[in-house]
Structure 1
Amino acid sequence: MSAAAYGPPAVQALREGDPVELGPYRIAGRLGQGGMGSVFLAEGPQGPVAIKVITPHLANDPEFAERFRREVAAAGRVRRFCTAPVLDSRLDAAPLWLVTEYVAGPDLGRVLREGGPLTGSNLEALAVGVATALTAIHGAGVVHCDLKPANVLLSPLGPRVIDFGIARALDLGHGKTVTGRLLGTPEYMAPEVINDHHLTPAADIFAWGCVVFAAATGRSPFAARTVPEALMRVVNDQPSLEAVEPGLRPLVAAALEKDPANRPSAQDLAGRLVGSTRVDAQAVAGTLRIDLASLTTPPPTAAAPSGGQPGGPSGAQAATVPPRRRTGRWIAIGAGAAALLAVAATAFVVMSPSGPPAADGVLYTEAFDSVESGWVTDSGGSYSDPPGQFVLTASGGAGSWSRPPINANFPSRLLMEATVLIEGSPGARAGLYCNHLHDGQGASYDLEIRQDGRARIRKSVDKDGWDLTADAPVSGFKPGKVRLQAQCAREGERIRLALWVNGTLAVTADDTLKAVSGKQPSVGVQLTHAGEADAKATIDDYRVSWF
C-alpha cells in the first residue's frame, strides 16, 4: 500500500452515555478523551466544531468550575489568527462545555512520529505561525503553559495552536500556579516553571524553541526516558542546534535561554522571522501555507494515534484510534518565509469566455470514494452505493444542499468546481454556492444551471431570495454531465461572482455585502426546483482552490 497524504483526524463512534446534542450542536463522534474531559466533533449552526465536555466529577467541584469559567473568559479574549478560537460555552449548568473551531488537520506530534521532521517552507510556516499565535495569546493576557507538538495542528492555511489545556490568565495566582503544581509537559517546560512555578509569557517562548527544534529534528531538545531526567535536562543542558536549519538557529537559541529575561517576546520572534520590526500578525497569518500533500503517512500496519483537536481551557489529548481511509484531501502550496509579509493582490482577475482564473493552490478536493469523508447528509444529500459520487435529491418543490468539512481561514478569492448531472424535474437547477455572514444574517450565493443549459446567479438572505442575473443560455451546451466552475471573490464589502460551464463563461454578477462579518464563509453544492416531480443531482470531483 502506498503512502497517503494526511487527512483530518479520525472520528470515533459515540459511546453509551455520550451526549448526542448540546445546545444547538449535534454531536457526530468522538475526537479524544483525557483527564479533564472528552472532545467531540459536532455540527453547529455555522458548520463543524469541536466541543470539550468537562467530566462530571470536575464540573461538580466548585473551585474547579470557577477556575474553568475564568479560563474560558481569558481564552475568549484571544484573537483568532493561528489559533483555534473559542466560539461558545456553557458555564452555568452541568455539563460544562466549551466550543472551539474544528481544525481538519493532523497534529505536529503525529506528523513527526510518522513522517519525520519538517523542512523548507513547511518548517518556516510552522515557526512563524506558532510565534504569531503566541502574539495573540499573550496579547489577551494569557499564558498557554502547555505548548508542544500535540497542541499544534497543521492546516493547509498554516498551523493552529490549540488546547489552552492549562492556560492561566496572568492575574490568576499573580503569575504563579494556583495550586503550586507543575503545569505542562516536562520536556517542553521552561526552567523557571520547574524551579519556582513561575508562569509568564517567557515560558511559552521557551516552549516555542522546543517545538521548532522538534519540528526541525523530529525530537524534543530535552527528550528523556523519565520525568525527573527530562526536568533535569531542561534546567541544566544546552542542546546542540547543529541539526536546526541555519536561518532558524539564532532564534531557537535565544528562545532556549535559561534566563527568561534574555528571551525575545512573541512579537520580537515574529518580527525577526519575517524581517520586519512592525508586524501585522493578522496579515502574516493570512499568508501562511502548509503543504499537507508533502507530509505523507506511511502504509498503516497497526492502530495509529489520531490528530489532536482543540479542547480550549482544560483540554485533553486525542485518544489512539485506528487509521481510516480518506479520499477527500486537504492540499496546499507551501510558501517561503520571504513571502510571509506579501499581501495578496486585491484586484479581481479579468473574467473572459476563455475560462476561469488559474488556481494558485488547491484547498480541498473530494472524489467521494469513502462515506467517511464528512459531508453533510441530513439535508437531502447522500453517498452513492457503491461510493464514488455524492447525490442530492429533492421533491415537492423543496431543495437540498450539502457542504464539505473545510475548516480554515478561507482565502478571499475562491474557485469552486464540480462535475454535475441533473435528472428528473425539468425545472431543477443544481450548482455551487458560497455563503457569507453580514448584518447578522447569512447571504448565500447560488451559481447554478438548469437541465436545458440556462445559467443564473441567485442571492438569498434569511428567507428572502432574488435573482442577480437573468437566465442565460450557455453557448454550445449539451445535456448530460457538465463541469461547473464558480468564482466567489471578496474585496472588502464587494463580491464578484462568476459561473463557467464546461470552461465557458455563462453568467457574472457583482454584489455588495454591507458590514461583512468576520465569521468564516462556507461553500458547497445545492439542488433546487419548482416543480412537483422529483429531482436529482449527482456530484463528482469536487474541488475548492484559491487564486
Structure 2
Amino acid sequence: MNGDRVIGGYALRRLLGRGGMGEVHLAATPTGGLAAVKVIKPALARDPAFRRRFEREVAAARRVARFCTAPVLDAGIDGDVAYLVTEYVKGPDLAEAVRDQGPLSGSNLEALAVGIATALSAIHGAGVIHRDLKPSNVLLSPLGPRVIDFGIAQLVDNDSLASQAILGTPAFMAPEQVRGEPLTPAADVFAWGGVIAYAGTGRLPFGGGAPGEVLYRIMQEGPRLDGLDEGIRDVVARALAKDARLRPTAQGLLAELVGGTRLTTATEVVERTWTGTVTSGVRSSAGRPGGMSAEAQSSARPSEARSGGGQGRERAMRPTGLVAPTGGPVDSPLRGPMGAPAPVPGSVGGAAGPGRGRWWPWVAGAAATVLAVGAALAVPGLWQETLWPYEAGFGDAWAVGASEGGNARQAGTGYELTVNPGWRLWKSAPRREPDTGVIVSAKATLAEGTGEYGVWCHGSASSGDRYEFGVSGSGKVTIVKRRTGTRGRPLYGPANAQGAAVNRIVAECGRSGNKVTLRMWLNERLVAEASDSDSPYGPDEAGVYAASGPTDPARVRFDSFALRPVGQ
C-alpha cells in the first residue's frame, strides 16, 4: 500500500509492477476513477537529456489513437519525479494468459493478431515506433487486446543500463535491432510475428536460453512455427523475415488478415470469433440496438453535423472568443467554421455461445475492432475523432494568433494565452461536449502578471455563453455564469483555496432535473459546488480561458486539457 502518497495530483493506491525505468502504480484520479501511474526512477528524471526526450515522447504518445492502447492521460516532472499517467486496463497480459490458459488457436488467435496489428497501425500512424512489443506489453482487456508502453524504449540512451532493461527481451528483437541499427516500423512488425507465434504455440519462436544464444538464432536461423495454425502461419513467417524490406507493414498485416483470400471479409472474423449472429438486432455493450456505441450514436445525430453533409470529419479551425474591458464578449477574427466528428461503428457484444477451444472473454470486443478496420483501414484518423475521453495535444485545431485582447500560441507541448490588461481570452477545444454531462480538466500555470485562469464548459463561441471555473493568482476560486453583453453572474465565490505554482483544475457540468450542477476541484480537492436552474446552459463546447488584471498583462500556460463524459 502507498498510503496517501500523491504524485501529480494522483493518489497512489498499490504497486502494480516494476521495470527498468521505474514502478507502475494503480492510482485514483481527481474525479474518482482509476489510472496507471508510471513513476520514473529519480536518477533518470534528474537527467536534462532524459527530460527533453520524455516531453517529446509523451507528446507523440498522445497522438496515438486510443481504442487499442492504454492512452496517455497525463504526464509531468515534479522535482526528481517524472511520471506518466495512462488509462488503467483491467485484465491479464498475454504472457500470463498463455501461461495460465495455454496457447490460442482458431478465431481467438486471429482476433488477437488483428487487434495487435491494428494497434501497431495506430502507433505507426502517429509517427511512433514501439521498440519493445512483447507478450507482457499486450493487455487482454474485456474489450480486446491493448498494446502498452509504445515509444518508451527510446527515452533512454542505447548504452544505458535502463535501456538494456527495457530492451531486455531478446526473443522479440528484429535482426536490425540486434545489430544496433536505426529502427523503422518494420522492427515492430517482426516483434508482432514473434508475439503471435508465441500466443499460438506457447513457445518462443527462436527458443530460449542465454540472451546471446537467442540473438544468434534471430540473426542466423529461421523461426520455429510448427504447431501454429496453418491459416496464419504464412503471415507470421513474412513478418519474421530477416530483411526488413520483405516484411509487410502494419497496414499490410491488416489487409492480409481481414481482406485476403483466406478471410474474405472482416465480418467472417467476427462471426468465427463470436458465435452470435452479427445483425442489426444485436445489442451493443452499452445496451443499444444496432451494435453502435453511445459515442457513435451521439456523433451521428444531425444536430451535431454542423459542417453539413459529408464534411463531418473535416478538421477546421475552431471558434474562439474574448471579452472586452466592459465585460461583453467580442467576436474574434480567429473565428472559423466548426467541424463535427463522423459516425463510426461501435463495439458489438453479447452472450458467448458454444465454440471451439477455450472462450476468451475479450475477443468479442476485438472482433468489433476488426469490423471497424474492415470498413476503413485508415484507423488513427477515424478513431481519434470519435472516442472518449478527448485529450489535447494542443495541435493544429486549437486556435493560435493575435487579436485585440491578446495572443494564443503553441508553446512546445503546451498552449499559452497572453492577455492584454483588462481583457479575457477564451478558447474552444476542437471537440464538442458529450450529451451526458462533462468533466473538463486542465493543468495550468500563471507564468506572468496577475489575473485568473481556468476551464469552461456548456459554452458557445457564437453566443459567448458559458460556465467558467477559475482560480486567481492569489488563490481564490470562482464559478461564474457568463452571457453575451454581461459581466457574468457569480454562482460561487470568490473563496480562498489552497493553490500552487502549477494548478490542476477539474470541473464538472452535469444535469439534475431541470438544473445544471457544477463542481470544481483544485489540485484534487473539491473546492466549489453550485447549481443553476435559471435558463441553464446545455452541452455544447468547452475550453480554457485566461483573464488579466486591470493594469498588467497576464500570461497563462496550459500543459494539459481533457474532456470526458460524467461517470466515465
The CA deviation string for residues 377-432 of structure 1, in whole angstroms up to 9 with x for no partner, is: xxxxxxxxxxxxxxxxxxxxxxxxxxxxxxxxxxxx9xxxxxxxxxxxxxxxxxxx
Shift in Å, 1:222: 1.6
User: How far apart in 1 are the matches of 2:27 and 2:52?
Assistant: 26
**Which residue pairs with 2:225 in the alignment?**
241
Give the corresponding residue for 1:268.
Answer: 252
Deviation per CA, 1:31-57, whole angstroms, max 9, x where unpaired? 112232111111113421111111222
SS in 2 for 1:241: coil
Q: Specify which structure has the higher proportion of helix.
A: 2
Q: Which residue of 2 aligns with 1:133?
A: 119
Distance in 2 (CA, whole Å) between partners of 1:460 and 1:238 is 63
Q: 1:50 to 1:93 in 2, by over 3 A?
A: same
Structure 2 partner of 1:67: 53
Residue 77 (structure 1) shift: 2.6
- Contact 1:156/1:291 (CA < 8 Å) preserved in 2? no
**Contact 1:90/1:98, CA 8 A, preserved across alignment:** yes
Tell me how far apart the structure 1 counterparts of residues 510 and 108 of structure 2 sit (CA, whole Å).
34
Would the alpha carbon gap of residues 289 and 225 (structure 1) be closer, same or farther in structure 2, given more than 3 Å must change?
A: farther
Residue 45 of structure 1 is aligned with which of 30, 49, 63?
A: 30
2:364 matches 1:334: yes
1:516 and 1:151, CA in 2 relative to 1: closer, same or farther beyond 3 A?
farther
2-structure distance, mates of 1:340, 1:284: 13
How large is the RMSD of aligned CA atoms in angstroms? 4.4
Q: CA deviation at 1:65?
A: 3.1
- Over the matched positions of the two proteins, sequence identity in percent amounts to 47
Equivalent position amino acid for 2:109 in 1: L
CA 42–434 in structure 1, closer or farther in 2 if over 3 Å, else same: farther
Q: Provide Cα deviations, 1:352-381, integer angstroms capped at 9, x if missing partner.
A: xxxxxxxxxxxxxxxxxxxxxxxxxxxxxx
The residue aligned with 2:235 is 251
CA distance in 2, matches of 1:155, 1:286: 16
TM-score (norm 2): 0.50
1:151 deviation in Å? 0.4
How many residues align structurally? 333
Please identify, of 270-279 and 140-149, the stretch whose mean Cα deviation from structure 2 is larger: 270-279
1:140 Cα deviation (Å)? Answer: 1.9
Cα distance between partner residues in 1 of 2:566 and 2:226:
44
The one-letter code sitting in structure 1 at the alignment partner of 2:531 is: D
2: distance between equivalents of 1:42 and 1:60? 23
Unaligned runs of at least 5 residues, structure 2: 267-312, 314-341, 375-433, 441-455, 458-506, 520-529, 544-561
- The answer to whether the 8 Å contact 2:62/2:72 transfers is yes
**Alignment partners' CA distance in 2, 1:184 and 1:155:** 25
Task: Give the direction of change, closer, same or farther, for the CA distance of 1:41–1:192 in structure 2 (3 Å limit).
Answer: same
The match for 1:106 is 92
The C-alpha deviation readout for 1:170-190, integer Å capped at 9, x for no partner, is xx99xxx57797635100000
Q: 2:437, 2:539 within 8 Å by CA — same for their partners in 1?
A: no
Deviation of the 1:257 alpha carbon: 0.7
Q: 1:34 to 1:338 in 2, by over 3 A?
A: closer
Q: Spell out, residue by residue over 1:62-84, the C-alpha distance to the aligned partner (whole angstroms, 9 max, x if none).
A: 33333333322332332212111
CA distance in 1, matches of 2:259, 2:344: 12
Q: Which residue of 1 aligns with 2:72?
A: 86
1:156 corresponds in structure 2 to 142
Relative distance call for 1:53 and 1:30 in structure 2 (3 A) is: same
* Residues 518, 531 of structure 2: 8 Å contact kept: yes
**Rounded Cα–Cα distance in structure 2 between residues aligned with 1:109 and 1:283:** 35
In the aligned structure 1, how far is the partner of 2:177 from the partner of 2:542? 43
Distance 2:129 2:173 in 1: 12
Q: 1:464 maps to which residue?
A: 531
Q: Name the CA distance, whole Å, in 1 between partners of 2:206 and 2:343.
A: 34
Matches within 5 A, 1:191-206: 191-206=175-190
C-alpha distance in 1, partners of 2:136/2:353?
20
Residue in 1 that maps onto 2:540:
514
Q: Is the 8 A contact 1:157 1:288 kept in 2?
A: no
Q: Secondary structure at 2:193's aligned position in 1? A: helix
Q: Deviations over 1:288-339 (max 9, x none)?
A: 87999999xx9xxxxxxxxxxxxxxxxxxxxxxxxxxxxxxx9556368598
Q: Does structure 2 retain, via aligned residues, the 8 Å contact 1:191–1:258?
A: yes
**Gap change, CA 1:23 and 1:198, over 3 Å in 2:** closer
Partner residue of 1:30? Answer: 15
Shifted more, 459-468 versus 18-27: the winner is: 459-468
Distance 1:83 1:294, change over 3 A: farther
Letter paired with 1:158: G
Change (3 A) 1:126 1:278: closer
CA distance in 2, matches of 1:467, 1:124: 55
Equivalences for residues 288-299 of structure 1 within 5 A:
none
Residue 124 of structure 1 aligns with an amino acid whose one-letter code is: E
Instruction: Return closer, same or farther for 1:26/1:335 CA change in 2, 3 Å cut-off.
Output: closer
Residue identity matched to 2:9: P
1:217 to 201, 210, 234: 201
- CA distance in 1 between counterparts of 2:353 and 2:70 reads 22
- SS of alignment partner, residue 80 of structure 1: coil
Q: In structure 2, how many angstroms separate the alpha carbons of the residues matched to 1:60 and 1:291?
A: 51
Q: Name the residue aligned to 1:408.
A: none
Give the conservation status (yes or no) of the 8 Å contact 2:510–2:566: no
* Contact 2:143 2:366 (8 Å CA) reproduced: no
Cα distance in structure 2, aligned partners of 1:272 and 1:342:
15
* Equivalent residue runs for 1:387-406 within 5 Å: none
Q: Structure 2: how far apart are the matches of 1:92 and 1:28? A: 19
Query: 2:145–2:366: 8 Å Cα contact kept in structure 1?
Result: no
Give SS of 2:230's match: coil
Letter in 2 for 1:201: P
Structure 2: distance between partners of 1:293 and 1:223: 36
Bigger drift between 252-261 and 191-200 goes to 191-200
Whether the 8 Å CA contact 2:143–2:364 is kept in 1: the answer is: no
In structure 1, the gaps of 5 or more residues are 1-12, 299-329, 345-412, 414-432, 447-455, 469-510, 525-547
Structure 2 SS opposite 1:247: helix
Partners of 2:185 and 2:176 lie apart in 1 by 12
**Take 1:287 and 1:241, find their aligned partners in 2: how far apart are those partners?**
33
Distance 1:26 1:338, change over 3 A: closer
> Aligned partners of 1:266 and 1:131: how far apart in 2?
6
More contact order relative to length (CA 8 Å, sep ≥ 6): 1
Q: Distance in 2 between matches of 1:216 and 1:203?
A: 20
Q: For the Cα contact (< 8 Å) 1:132–1:266, is it kept in 2?
A: yes
Q: Distance in 2 between matches of 1:60 and 1:129?
A: 37
Question: Any conservation in 2 of the 1:435–1:444 contact (CA below 8 Å)?
Answer: yes
- Secondary structure at the residue paired with 1:90? strand
| Secondary structure, aligned partner of 1:154 | strand
Distance 2:174 2:203 in 1: 17
